[in-house]
Amino acid sequence: MAGNKKKKTQVRPLIPRPGARYTCFGDGLCCTDIHGIGPLTKKEVASMRRIDRKSAGWNDDHDDYMLNTAADGGCVFLMADQRCSVHAQLGPEAKPDGCRRFPLGLVATPVGGRITTDHRCPCRTMGDRPEIRPEDVESSISDGGSRPVADRRIKRIPMSPKKELKFSEWEPIEAEYLKRLRGREALLEVLDAEPFPALHGSSWDKQADEFIDARDGSQFGVAMAWVGDTISALQNGRSPRAPGRPWAAAFDRAQARSPKVGTSRDVFADWIADEIWSLKWAEDYDFALARVELATRLAIGEDICARLRKTGARADRAAAEAVMMVELVGESDFWTEVKDCMRPS
């Protein structure tokens, strides 16, 4: 029988995005309620509860098992020196899988496993960081043994509602985008998309109000309020408020270890490059919509960055805080609703 010529996806070889830089400096943002800390498997809940009975449990907001946070928003295992007590006392393998993995991810493609990174942590966005090497991150993205575990598998690339490309056809197109992002061109020009498209069945005003209402006392809620206020300001000329920066200490630490000041363009370009490289968008929609929604979050992020600059924040830090906010919002159900409304019905 003739062999199956359809190319399957694979996780090896591990492929970092050229130019992506990261190491954990312990800036300490990822172990807080900047995002939900989880989800955990039932087995992980049981082992965390063996260490601290109240450390983990069902979370109605996330509809899943999560680690609990203390009154200051930090994980109950986060120590005053920003180290994890589980890691310190029992080793990295004792931590829940999500803790070992963050901010790394893996997407299986026909040519190998792309290593991806989230940008909400200043360890990924600020300072002098080493290039990501497969051998340094492999254990973080692997299961208990040595098998890398993919977050998603992408074989073909949807370019528009009616056009799909083979992965081999997509790669040179993507390489050109990544090259232009590394240059000096305006980022909106590279994306070649207009931000803030008309929303079908909703409006930017309504969405902004929902983001602002999502403020719930967590750092995530504050980030949502920043984005909601910024949408209001950009779309309706309302005066933006400054909902506070409860994450400031983590960025203070990042700034203290980063004497060389980077540009805001580089921070935004690096984030957009990873958004494209991660292929998260290819799971649910197409590259045409991805460019529009990225252009919209970029416009929001650049406005937040400009406001932070006015308060005296240096360029790379202002951009890193803005990227953290627009990335968090982009991962939320609130933004999924916005993206659904961007699609003509």
Binding to ligand SF4 by residue 123, rule CB under 6 A? Answer: no
Chosen residue from 75, 141, 193, 292 binding ligand SF4 by CB under 6 A:
75
Interatomic CA distance for residues 321 and 309, integer angstroms: 11
Chosen residue from 14, 34, 45, 99 binding ligand SF4 by CB under 6 A:
99
3-state class (DSSP) for residue 247? coil
Binding to ligand SF4 by residue 78, rule CB under 6 A? Answer: yes
Q: 10-49 mask for ligand SF4 (x: CB under 6 A)?
A: ---------------------x-----x------------
Query: Cα(first)–Cα(last) distance of the chain, in Å?
Result: 45
Given the complex with ligand SF4, which of 165 and 249 has the nearer CB atom?
249
Binding to ligand SF4 by residue 120, rule CB under 6 A? Answer: no
Closest approach of ligand SF4 to the CB of residue 327, in Å: 18
**Residue 23, CA distances (Å) to 73, 130, 133, 311 in order:** 23, 7, 10, 29
Interatomic CA distance for residues 334 and 68, integer angstroms: 22
Given the complex with ligand SF4, which of 55 and 116 has the nearer CB atom?
55
Q: 157-196 mask for ligand SF4 (x: CB under 6 A)?
A: ----------------------------------------
Given the complex with ligand SF4, which of 45 and 304 has the nearer CB atom?
45
Strands, E assignment, the chain: 14-16, 56-59, 64-67, 104-109, 112-117, 152-153, 156-160, 163-166
Q: Which helix (H) or strand (E) holds 339?
A: helix 333-342
Closest approach of ligand SF4 to the CB of residue 323, in Å: 21
Binding to ligand SF4 by residue 84, rule CB under 6 A? Answer: yes
Interatomic CA distance for residues 274 and 301, integer angstroms: 16
Q: In terms of Cα–Cα distance, which of 271, 257, 342 is closest to 305? A: 271
Print the SS3 string covering 27-73.
CCCCCECCCCCCCCCHHHHHHHHHHCCCCEEEECCCCEEEECECCCC
Chosen residue from 77, 177, 271, 287 binding ligand SF4 by CB under 6 A:
77
Task: Please tell me the count of residues contacting ligand SF4 according to CB under 6 A.
Answer: 11
Return the range that interacts with ligand SF4 (CB under 6 A); candidates 81-89, 182-190, 292-300, 305-313.
81-89
Binding site for ligand SF4 (CB under 6 A): 31, 37, 67, 75, 77-78, 84, 86-87, 95, 99
